[in-house]
Structures are given as structure tokens and as C-alpha cells.
Amino acid sequence: MKITKRTAMAALATLSFVVMHHASMQRAGAVLLGSTNVNTATEGELRRIPGLRRADVRRIMLERRQARFHCPEDLYFIDSPIALRYLHFEGPSDLRTLRHAPVLMKRTA
């Protein structure tokens, strides 16, 4: 499936979150968009989150068996503020990697 600039811009216009670039993905020309539900994500999905260490992923998997996470404070053991931007607590996951993403201008209010 080929993604045109128009399609990508339409998809981005519907999103209500900040687009973050991860250093290793910038080299590949990719952008990570969206967020993952920390309560339903698989281990593989959590490992894609920039800033989450393997130990963080293991702890999420272990602790959510006992109780759901409800807010960022529940993830007190995660040191990376970037990782927290990619996590949410309700609803479906919508984390996507756009390869060869178009250059976007930063909106100013």
C-alpha cells in the first residue's frame, strides 16, 4: 500500500497527540505516531515504545496481572517522560510507524 502525502496529512489531521521522533527511527526516516494502551498491549508492542527499557516492559506485564493501570502515576517506575507520551490507559491502541513520513511544519497557536 502506497501512502501519498495527501493521505498522510489527512491521517495526521485527525490525531490529537504530539508526534515524537525517536532517535533510531529518525535515521531510518520513520515517525512513530499514536499511543498504546498499557493495560492491553502485548510485550512486543510495549518494546516498540521509545524510552521503555526491557525491565520496564517486564514490570508492566507483571504488575498489570494484579491490577490495571489508571494514570501516569501508576507507572512511577518508568524514568522516561518520552515513553509516557506513548502510553494511555483506556481504549484501543493506535501506535503506528510511518516510514518515509512527509516533513511536517510545526503548528503554532
Per-residue model confidence as pLDDT tens digits over 41-95? 999 999 999 999 999 999 999 999 999 999 999 999 999 999 999 999 999 988 8
In a domain, 10, yes or no: yes
Q: Rounded to whole angstroms, how far apart are CA atoms 101 and 20?
A: 12
In a domain, 106, yes or no: no
**Which pLDDT score, from 0 to 100, does residue 9 have?**
52
In a domain, 107, yes or no: no
In a domain, 43, yes or no: yes
Q: Considering only residues 19 and 81, tell me which one the structure prediction assigns the higher pLDDT.
A: 81
In a domain, 84, yes or no: yes
> What residue numbers bound the domain in which 46 lies?
5-99
**Of the ranges 9-13, 17-21, 40-44, 105-109, the best mean pLDDT one:** 40-44
Non-local (6+) Cβ contacts of 88 within 8 A are: 35, 36, 37, 38
In a domain, 27, yes or no: yes
Residues 39, 89 contacting (CB under 8 angstroms): yes
In a domain, 105, yes or no: no
Q: Rounded to whole angstroms, how far apart are CA atoms 87 and 34?
A: 9
In a domain, 17, yes or no: yes
Region at 34 (left for phi over 0; alpha for psi -120 to 50; beta for the rest): left
Non-local (6+) Cβ contacts of 47 within 8 A are: 54, 57
Count of structural domains within the chain: 1
